Structure 1
Amino acid sequence: MIIPELEGVTLTKGHGAGNDFVLVPDLAGQRTISEQTVAAICDRHLGVGADGLIRVVRTAHVPEMADVAAAHPEAEWFMDYRNADGSVAQMCGNGVRVFVHYLRIQGLIDLVSGEEVAVATRGGVRTVRFNDTDYTVDMGEYGLPFGPGGADTTVDIPGVGIRPAVSVTMPNPHTVVLLQNLAELEAADLHHAPQYDPVPKDGTNLELAVPGEVTAMRVLERGVGETLACGTGTCAVALAVLLARGDCAGRVEIDARGGHLSVLIEGGRAFLTGPAILVAEVNVLGIAGH
């Protein structure tokens, strides 16, 4: 069937370390994209396929962002991010890099290496610096909802068993489990739902990580399933690794399943550096089965 919300629109597929997105231009904020349409576009068998959908729109044209537009006129663009199931998310660290890369490639912003641009998100205004070959995002302040006392949750992970975890907000909710070795990381069956104690009231993203000179990680994203990378989740892992070392600041190099990412924790904030790649332009003719 034809999707009327997107009829005649050229969509762009991109990814950051394998975390992939469909970008929809709606510069003047004239389109309403339903949860069903997002889910149809992001379906990997019947649609274009992606971990999420990003509507590209000027902040001033988004009623819910009126206060942000007034307080931060420098944040001309709003990253309207939706998970693959159509649900709304506050922020996406890989997505915002792809978003800025799209704006730059499309000529919507003039950004040269070493310069920064402010982007409005539901998680606050984020600053993104272009580094010639990659992008660094000021992800903002992290949160430890149960305090800095270490493990605050247990997670029963299919294929692994019950493990302690630490809760982090970035501002999306995350639960991070540090595993002993790569064998445990590979054994985790993320096709089946883990069980949390206590149960997160708003849901959570689960990160499994093996600390090392380069930390290896896997991620189960809320509303999506296992993805090749997660920007806010990578920052949560970096913080958990540092806390386990007794540190509250430092840089952590991380290999997600889709590529390498680097996180600097400094001054109570997280800074995420990684790639952004546009891979295709798509005209939607119809979505079968929806």
Structure 2
Amino acid sequence: MTRRPPHPFAKGHGARNDFIVLPDPDNRLRLTEDLVRSLCDRRTGIGADGILRAVHTTTLTAATDAGREAEWFMDYRNPDGSTGTTCGNGIRVLARYLVDTGLCPPGALPIATRAGTRHVHVPHPSPRFHGDVTVNMGRPELPGPDTITVTAAGRTWPALHVDMGNPHAVVLPGDLDHAGPLTTAPTVTPEEAFPHGVSVGFAVPQRPGHIALRVHERGAGETPSCGTGACAAVTALRHADPADSADSYLVHAPGGRLRVAVLPDNTLYLTGPAAITTHGTLHLPALRTDPTPNITTAA
């Protein structure tokens, strides 16, 4: 079987929400759904909650304004092989990769996504600490309808549709344990409100400015943390109780803490850890019916 030359990859995470980074400046890789699923498989592949393909915007053929501002485009893929629009933790990990590898300088870094350009700030690294990475997530939208419900573990709750460039249905269950194990996707109605699927967040307010969160991401299942989910949870709590709204929240997910700052115009800034942990190469078959990659890694 004919194989391509080895292709570099990296593995990184943001609050344990982990991703495979595939640098592809010339836009030559073709990620089939089978290949994405194979790479993200935690037993037979590298294992990840998604893939971040880094493409130079000058190679994009679709009409877009992204290249006027952003040098890089994030082609995000869910682990089930489907295409994603944006990812709050993923874009912070990709920005960290671009800076760590010298492809971009630290500081302000615009990155194009299918949901529009996001502005990321990667701090100048010090000998001991790289610092958290922050991204301007824009302003959330509440598209409705007002009749959305979520069912999980035999319980049903009303939910708020929050669009962060990708769709979220946010529930305030009172207790995170009420969501159950989340081994299968919660049922969301009406189905026609989310023709391409939806991530479901379960958010519980704690002391002022603190939120506990679990998220079942579309195409991925429950993940240790979710950046857009954290922003959606903050939006849902502020919507439910405007009088008790804060201008900064710590969102506590199983994988760690994320901070969401809310500006007066409702723009949200997401801040949290982002680290690259592994570099390696992939030998990808040019023609494949069973796309099992040959992987070489180096920490």
Please report the TM-score for the alignment, with normalisation by the length of structure 1: 0.88
1:189 and 2:181 aligned: yes
Correspondence for 2:121: 129
1:168 and 2:179 aligned: no
Query: 1:139 is paired with a residue of what secondary structure?
Result: strand
CA distance in 2, matches of 1:233, 1:197: 19
Q: Please state how far the C-alpha of 1:73 moved relative to its aligned partner.
A: 2.4
CA distance in 2, matches of 1:286, 1:67: 30
Q: Please state how far the C-alpha of 1:215 moved relative to its aligned partner.
A: 1.1
CA distance in 2, matches of 1:85, 1:183: 26
Percent identity between the two aligned chains: 40
Q: Please state how far the C-alpha of 1:191 moved relative to its aligned partner.
A: 1.1
1:229 and 2:225 aligned: yes
Q: Report the AA paired with residue 90 of structure 1.
A: T
Q: Please state how far the C-alpha of 1:246 moved relative to its aligned partner.
A: 1.5
Specify which of 17, 35, 45 is matched with residue 19 of structure 1.
17
Return 10-19 or 262-271, whichever deviates more.
262-271
Q: Please state how far the C-alpha of 1:183 moved relative to its aligned partner.
A: 3.8
Specify which of 255, 258, 277 is matched with residue 261 of structure 1.
258
Q: Please state how far the C-alpha of 1:182 moved relative to its aligned partner.
A: 4.2
Query: 2:69 is paired with a residue of what secondary structure?
Result: coil
CA distance in 2, matches of 1:153, 1:216: 22
Q: Assess if the C-alpha contact under 8 Å between 1:152 and 1:167 holds in 2.
A: no
Q: Assess if the C-alpha contact under 8 Å between 2:9 and 2:280 holds in 1.
A: yes
Q: Report the AA paired with residue 222 of structure 2.
A: E
Q: Assess if the C-alpha contact under 8 Å between 2:176 and 2:202 holds in 1.
A: no
Q: Assess if the C-alpha contact under 8 Å between 2:140 and 2:164 holds in 1.
A: yes
Q: Please state how far the C-alpha of 1:181 moved relative to its aligned partner.
A: 2.5
CA distance in 2, matches of 1:53, 1:116: 23
Q: Please state how far the C-alpha of 1:289 moved relative to its aligned partner.
A: 7.8
Gaps of 5+ in 1: none
1:220 and 2:212 aligned: no
For the aligned residues, what is the CA RMSD?
A: 2.1
Q: Please state how far the C-alpha of 1:189 moved relative to its aligned partner.
A: 2.5
Q: Report the AA paired with residue 225 of structure 1.
A: G
Q: How does 1:63-212 map to 2 (within 5 A)?
A: 63-64=61-62, 66-69=63-66, 72-111=67-106, 115-131=107-123, 133-146=131-144, 152-158=147-153, 161-185=155-179, 188-199=180-191, 200-212=194-206
CA distance in 2, matches of 1:29, 1:285: 17
Q: Taking structure 1 as reference, are residues 182 and 230 closer, same or farther at Cα in structure 2, changes over 3 Å only?
A: closer
Deviations along 1:35-94, one digit per CA (max 9) or x if unpaired, are 211111001111000010111111111212x4224xx52300111111111111110000
Q: How does 1:50-69 map to 2 (within 5 A)?
A: 50-64=48-62, 66-69=63-66
Query: 2:90 is paired with a residue of what secondary structure?
Result: helix
Specify which of 216, 233, 245 is matched with residue 241 of structure 2.
245
Q: Taking structure 1 as reference, are residues 52 and 183 closer, same or farther at Cα in structure 2, changes over 3 Å only?
A: closer
Query: 1:184 is paired with a residue of what secondary structure?
Result: helix
Query: 1:226 is paired with a residue of what secondary structure?
Result: strand
CA distance in 2, matches of 1:289, 1:171: 31
Deviations along 1:171-206, one digit per CA (max 9) or x if unpaired, are 101000112124435xx1311232222123221000
Q: Report the AA paired with residue 258 of structure 2.
A: L
Q: Please state how far the C-alpha of 1:141 moved relative to its aligned partner.
A: 2.1
Query: 2:82 is paired with a residue of what secondary structure?
Result: coil
Deviations along 1:243-274, one digit per CA (max 9) or x if unpaired, are 12215762221011111001122213221111
Query: 1:207 is paired with a residue of what secondary structure?
Result: strand
Q: Report the AA paired with residue 161 of structure 1.
A: R
Question: Which segments of structure 1 move beyond 3 Å, counting only runs of 4 or more?
Answer: 285-290
Return 203-212 or 192-201, whichever deviates more.
192-201
Q: Taking structure 1 as reference, are residues 165 and 46 closer, same or farther at Cα in structure 2, changes over 3 Å only?
A: same
Q: Report the AA paired with residue 238 of structure 2.
A: L
